[in-house]
Amino acid sequence: MTKEQRLQKRYASEKRFKSYGIISICLALTFVALLVFKVLSEGSSAFVKTSIQLELNFDHKLLNTSKQPTKEEIEDIDFYDFTLQHILKVFPTSNRDEEKQLIKLFTSDFEFEVKKYFKANSDILNKVITLNITASSDLDQLHKGNYQRDIPENRRKISNFQLKIYDQLLEKKKINKVFNNYFFTNGDSRNPEIAGIGGSMLGSFFSILVCLIISFPIALLAAVYLEEFAPKNKFTDFIEININNLAAVPSIVFGLLGLGILLNVFELPRSTSLVGGITLALMTLPRIIIPCRASLKAVPPSIREAALAVGASKVQSVIHHVVPLAMPGTLSGTIIGLAQALGETAPLLLIGMVAFVVQVPGSPLDPSASLPVQVFLWSESAERGFVEKTSATIMVLLGFLIIMNSIAVYARQKFEKKWI
């Protein structure tokens, strides 16, 4: 082989190696793009809901109440009947069955929507107001184009009569899409149109808060002790190995621990974000200790020597210099650990945070779901309305994860000291 041939061969192999790298990056990006596309295309429609404009005459006679109703009297008003009469006036029906079908086009909660509006605006008595009433999930899906119209009626969720009404609504422009506030404020529900992630978002928030409060101080202190004070012997080696092992233990094992110890021995309330948070804290602890130790180790020994040489005690040198200098690393490690905990599902299933909870939790002691568990719950529902909500929840969860990880990266780059 001549020198030129060898040279060409070397160039060729370098080119080949480079192209392998580019191909693998492209493949990875394709998978990410597929995931994002699937979630976005399926989930984005969940952020809007269909609503039907309905003209309501809040005449006190129609409301069947006095001219100036007191609070108790307002509570007594039958808004279901009141609204139903208006609906029937706009869309005449010929029999009881059609009436049922008509009602089914509206959300099962329509009387509460009207009641809520009436209570919030007391001056509308005896006035005629046009209200946007949330449509039922089936009408919502039809309006969003997810249901086919040209299949036989018995295979459709929407009957011919309902289609007729829908066409009337379209013609009169009484149907429109509005921002789906329920998705962010409501708890879970059997009816997709009023089901939301408000409850599970708060549940996740409380769990992560409990997790942070428990795991961060313990992890930081453990890391500081192990890195700065502990003698280097077999026992500390043993501890170190075990911390690394714990970080790799499957999360469901921590769920079993939470179930066995927290629920069965200490009898803490089941399905609450308190128990979820403690379980997640157990899981997150080793995952925070490891980056904390790494960032403490990254502080150059010359800083410790400098502090000791002017007569700082060991504790002073650590608290005044080493720990503050390691803070960016420990904080970003903590945030990344918490982000992992936020996406964790398995341990929460075992401690009962998989329950169907309608109420939005007010404290960590209330039963609640969490975002990833909500995804799990809804992904099992067959109804079309839950499919888009599943994807939308994934979007919200991914959004939170991206925000947390960006904060971690930003904190590290912004505040980390560059050593000369």
Partner 1 sequence: MDLMTDTKIKISANHLNVFYGQKQALFDISLDINQNEVTALIGPSGCGKSTFIRCINRMNDVIDICRVEGEIKIDEKNIYEPGIDIVSLREKVGMVFQKPNPFPKSIYDNVCYGPKIHGIAESKDDLDAIVENSLKKAALWNEVKDRLQEPGTSLSGGQQQRLCIARAISVNPEVILMDEPCSALDPVATAKIEELIDELKQSFTIVIVTHSMSQAVRVSQKTGFFHLGKLIEVGTTEKIFKNPTNNMTQDYITGRFG
Interface residues with partner 1 (CB under 8 A) are: 231-232, 300, 302-313, 316, 320-321, 325, 417, 420
* In the complex, least distance from residue 264 CB atom to partner 1, rounded to whole angstroms: 44
* In the complex, least distance from residue 325 CB atom to partner 1, rounded to whole angstroms: 7
Read out DSSP for 101-169?
HHHTTB-TTHHHHHHHHHHH-GGGTT-EEEEEEEBPHHHHHHHTT-S-SSS-GGG-SS-HHHHHHHHHH
SS (H, E, C) 49-95: EEEEEEEEECCCCCCCCCCCCCHHHHHHCCHHHHHHHHHHHHCCCCC
Rounded CA gap, 398 and 264, in Å?
A: 33
Residue 312 or 346 having the CB closest to partner 1: 312
Residue 37 or 225 having the CB closest to partner 1: 225
Residue 142 or 299 having the CB closest to partner 1: 299
Q: Decide: helix, strand or coil at residue 188.
A: coil
* In the complex, least distance from residue 308 CB atom to partner 1, rounded to whole angstroms: 7
* In the complex, least distance from residue 353 CB atom to partner 1, rounded to whole angstroms: 44
DSSP state letter for 186: -
* In the complex, least distance from residue 320 CB atom to partner 1, rounded to whole angstroms: 7
* In the complex, least distance from residue 395 CB atom to partner 1, rounded to whole angstroms: 41
* In the complex, least distance from residue 228 CB atom to partner 1, rounded to whole angstroms: 11
Residue 116 or 314 having the CB closest to partner 1: 314
Residue 174 or 412 having the CB closest to partner 1: 412
Residue 33 or 306 having the CB closest to partner 1: 306
Residue 152 or 311 having the CB closest to partner 1: 311
Rounded CA gap, 242 and 255, in Å?
A: 19
- Give the number of C-alpha atoms closer than 13 A to the C-alpha of residue 135, restricted to the C-beta side: 27
Residue 60 or 321 having the CB closest to partner 1: 321
* In the complex, least distance from residue 243 CB atom to partner 1, rounded to whole angstroms: 21
Q: How far from 419 is each of 293, 294, 296, 302, 312, CA to CA, in Å?
A: 18, 15, 14, 11, 22
Could you tell me if 110 and 83 are in contact, meaning their C-beta atoms sit under 8 angstroms apart? yes
* In the complex, least distance from residue 323 CB atom to partner 1, rounded to whole angstroms: 13
Handedness of CA 316, 304, 287, 370 (dihedral sign): positive
Could you tell me if 381 and 391 are in contact, meaning their C-beta atoms sit under 8 angstroms apart? no
Q: How far from 167 is each of 51, 93, 196, CA to CA, in Å?
A: 14, 15, 28
Which has the closest alpha carbon to 353: 258, 221, 231, 217?
258
Which has the closest alpha carbon to 49: 172, 161, 191?
191
Residue 325 or 369 having the CB closest to partner 1: 325
